[in-house]
Amino acid sequence: MKKTFLAIILAVVSSVGIISAQGLNTIKDKTFDQAVAQAKAENKTLIVDVFTDWCPPCKFMSANIFPSTGVESLNENFLLFKIDAEKGEGVDIAKKFVVRAYPTLVFVKEGKEVARIVGGSKTPEDFVNRVNNAMED
């Protein structure tokens, strides 16, 4: 019974394209436009993580900051969408938002940039503070 319940929960979570065992809710397997639409439908701001495979701070953020339980408080207002600036639609997204350094976190509401953070964070607490400060400006 418990296995069936868990399987149902995983199926539902997968069907809406959000992954979050812990940490910041991340939209997976969707295009940028689909991620924008999902964030709008949920009345949330989309955090677009524009990264590259070769960027050490990008790798650190993905491994240590985004999945941390220390950032779960952001789930109330934000969804994370990760996009590689050197692959697929990420090339166009990086150009659209004039990304010149990695990682760049572009905060998007209804398709428009409302804030930005350039560079990584060393701790989950620092990341949460930077997000809150960016949204206050």
Residue tagged active-site, from 27, 47, 58, 128: 58
Q: Respond yes or no: is residue 58 known to be catalytic.
A: yes
Cβ atoms 93, 85 nearer than 8 A: yes
Residue tagged active-site, from 13, 19, 37, 55: 55
How far the first Cα of the chain sits from its last, in Å, is 49
Domain 18-136 sits in CATH 3.40.30.10: yes
Q: Over 60: is that where the pLDDT of 16 sits?
A: no
pLDDT score of 21: 56
Q: What is the mean pLDDT of residues 51-75?
A: 97
Q: Respond yes or no: is residue 63 known to be catalytic.
A: no
Q: What are phi and psi of 15, to 5 degrees?
A: -70, -30
Average pLDDT of every residue of the chain: 89
pLDDT score of 17: 52
Secondary structure (3-state) at 82: strand
Q: 91 or 10: whose pLDDT is higher?
A: 91
Secondary structure (3-state) at 101: coil
pLDDT score of 14: 41
Q: Over 70: is that where the pLDDT of 22 sits?
A: yes
Q: Which two tokens stand for residue 43?
A: 């009345």
Confidence band of 41 (pLDDT split at 50, 70, 90): very high
Q: Over 70: is that where the pLDDT of 15 sits?
A: no
The helices-and-strands tally (H runs, E runs) of the chain is 5, 6
Q: How far is it, in rounded angstroms, from Cα 61 to Cα 119?
A: 10
Q: What is the pTM of this model?
A: 0.84
Q: Over 70: is that where the pLDDT of 120 sits?
A: yes
Q: What is the mean pLDDT of residues 43-72?
A: 97
Q: Over 80: is that where the pLDDT of 31 sits?
A: yes
Q: Over 50: is that where the pLDDT of 9 sits?
A: no
